[in-house]
Amino acid sequence: AQSVTQLDSHVSVSEGTPVLLRCNYSSSYSPSLFWYVQHPNKGLQLLLKYTSAATLVKGINGFEAEFKKSETSFHLTKPSAHMSDAAEYFCVVSEYTGGFKTIFGAGTRLFVKA
Amino acid sequence: DGGITQSPKYLFRKEGQNVTLSCEQNLNHDAMYWYRQDPGQGLRLIYYSQIVNDFQKGDIAEGYSVSREKKESFPLTVTSAQKNPTAFYLCASSIASGQGVQPQHFGDGTRLSIL
């Protein structure tokens, strides 16, 4: 059965320091994995996606994520946080096995301190 | 520019009233989706449509209805049967999932509140 666990509901970093947002998943098949970002009162914007190609995926705004099958993880990282990165981040697992199924994590709110 | 337009941005519903949320896309996407977002929770799928004149229930379809008469449009009706409709509603679209699982493009949402 599919599931997504975002291990932290809130993460706080200082501007210029690294960001790590953690995501574990379970899936019965080979899933596609995504990270989305949501700013207040806005829709979600795609940051990056993994679809069984390279395990290190680079996304927009300097974010990247590494797919680790042995650990069933897909953590999101950024070397240096910017104030504009403050938002909510969602890890998403999708698979199509004759029927569409997508599960969203509960979200991690990122705070960036000046 | 291509994108998804949701209207209105804010909507108020009286008890016993049906309301319809609009979602229009000009991305030429076959698949469209409706999600509900509550504080502290991820998005939950209400309905989705892979093609015109066809749609399927998601995880929380009770109290909602949809139609897909045009490729560009996927309106959601929140009926009086939905007892807790206060939420942020998001519409999304994608290339048809049958061609591989695709990322979704989202509108900016409609916030529905009960008077």
What pLDDT is stored for residue A54 in this prediction?
A: 81
Mean pLDDT of B13-22: 91
Shortest distance between the Cα of B110 and any Cα of chain A, in A, equals 9
Give the pLDDT band of residue B72 (cuts 50, 70, 90): very high
B 53-92 residues with CB below 8 A of A?
56, 90, 92
Whether pLDDT at B99 is above 60: no
Give the pLDDT band of residue B14 (cuts 50, 70, 90): confident
Chain B residues with CB-CB distance to A107 below 8 A:
40-42
- Please identify which residue in the block is written with the tokens 């996304």: A59
Helix (H/G/I), strand (E/B), else coil: B98: helix
Q: Which of A29, A34, A44 to probe the B interface (max B CBs under 10 A)?
A: A44
Cβ A45–B101 below 8 Å, yes or no? no
Integer Cα distance of B96 and B71 in angstroms: 12
Q: What is the end-to-end Cα distance of chain B in Å, rounded?
A: 36
Integer Cα distance of A100 and B56 in angstroms: 10
Contact B88, B44 (CB under 8 A): no
Is B101 at the interface with chain A, CB within 8 A?
A: yes
Integer Cα distance of B48 and B38 in angstroms: 19
Cβ B50–A105 below 8 Å, yes or no? no
Integer Cα distance of A45 and A81 in angstroms: 18
What pLDDT is stored for residue B115 in this prediction?
A: 81
Integer Cα distance of A50 and A72 in angstroms: 13
Q: Which of A73-82, B1-10, B57-66, B93-102 has the lowest mean pLDDT?
A: B93-102
Q: Which residue of A has its CA nearest to B6?
A: A43
Interface of A with B (CB under 8 A): 4, 9, 31-32, 34, 36, 41-46, 49, 51, 90, 94-96, 99-100, 102-107
Q: What percent of chain A has pLDDT over 90?
A: 73
Backbone angles phi, psi at B71, to 5 degrees: -60, -35
Q: What is the mean pLDDT of chain B?
A: 91
Integer Cα distance of B17 and B63 in angstroms: 12
Backbone angles phi, psi at A109, to 5 degrees: -90, 125
Two tokens, residue B20: 């319809």
A51 or B45, which is more confident:
B45
Q: Which residue of B has its CA nearest to A3?
A: B42
